[in-house]
Structure 1
Amino acid sequence: MNHTLDPIWDTVDDLHTWLETESDLPPEQETLLRMLKLTEEVGEVAQAVVGATGQNPRKGITHSWQDVESELCDVIITAMVALRTLTPKASEVFAGHLRRVAERSLNAAS
């Protein structure tokens, strides 16, 4: 995949290739586990929010809002790699979907 104008997707492709190389699992199982990895990452966002707001009285403040930012970035990266796992045209699929969501949402706001 050559994204000379999009180094983010180049990095996603590199991460995907690295994960593929490191995995000994059957491809179908690896794909499913990458999708499930998203749930783990979203849970870490929730844990960071709880920690940043001190909602667990036993633990108090255990995280910062910068921790929440970091966990959200992990969710985005994991989702991008998961999408790349499903299709080598991940950047095009994402760009098209983002465009449709923006058109639908921003046109409705007008």
Structure 2
Amino acid sequence: MDEIWETVNFLADKLDSHFDRSDEQRWTVQALKLQEEVGEVAEAVIGALGANPRKGHSHDWDDVRKETCDVALSALVLLARMGGDPRRFFAEHLRAVAARSESGGTTT
């Protein structure tokens, strides 16, 4: 897990060093990037299903997995760019979601 957060923090720092704007603008752009990645998951699913008659089977399920990883990474980078202790925040949130799940509540 340390390697993941090292990479996430490296990417967040690199992005921040190239974008001289307010915190809110940097976070907004990263949130938009996250949405873009979610759209790429949808595109890959459509392609894996062959649901676009013009493109046919343009993707496979490994493409969906890769795009899903991009979504997860973009979300963690957003969390890191927002400052504080993103690792602790994520761990606490994960524990809360797991506790809700164990008690019969919804997970997300």
Instruction: Tell me the TM-score normalized by structure 2.
Output: 0.90
Code of the aligned partner of 1:93: F
**Equivalent position of 2:47 in the other structure:** 51
Code of the aligned partner of 2:7: T
Code of the aligned partner of 1:20: D
Deviation for aligned residue 1:42: 0.2
Aligned 8 A contact 2:40 2:67 in 1? yes
Code of the aligned partner of 1:28: E
Q: Partner of 1:15: helix, strand, or coil?
A: helix
**Equivalent position of 1:28 in the other structure:** 24
Cα shift readout 1:11-68 (whole Å, capped 9, x = no counterpart): 1111111111122334332221111111100000000000000001121100010000
**RMSD after superposition:** 1.5
Deviates more, 1:41-50 or 1:9-18: 9-18
**Equivalent position of 2:94 in the other structure:** 98
Instruction: Tell me the TM-score normalized by structure 1.
Output: 0.88
2:80 matches 1:88: no
**Equivalent position of 2:63 in the other structure:** 67
**Equivalent position of 2:73 in the other structure:** 77
Code of the aligned partner of 1:36: L
Show structure 1 runs of 5+ residues with no match.
Answer: none
Deviates more, 1:79-88 or 1:27-36: 27-36
State, as a whole percentage, how many aligned pairs show the same letter. 48
Deviation for aligned residue 1:108: 1.5
Code of the aligned partner of 1:8: I
Show structure 2 runs of 5+ residues with no match.
Answer: none
- Give structure 1 regions of 4+ aligned residues with deviation exceeding 2 angstroms: 24-28
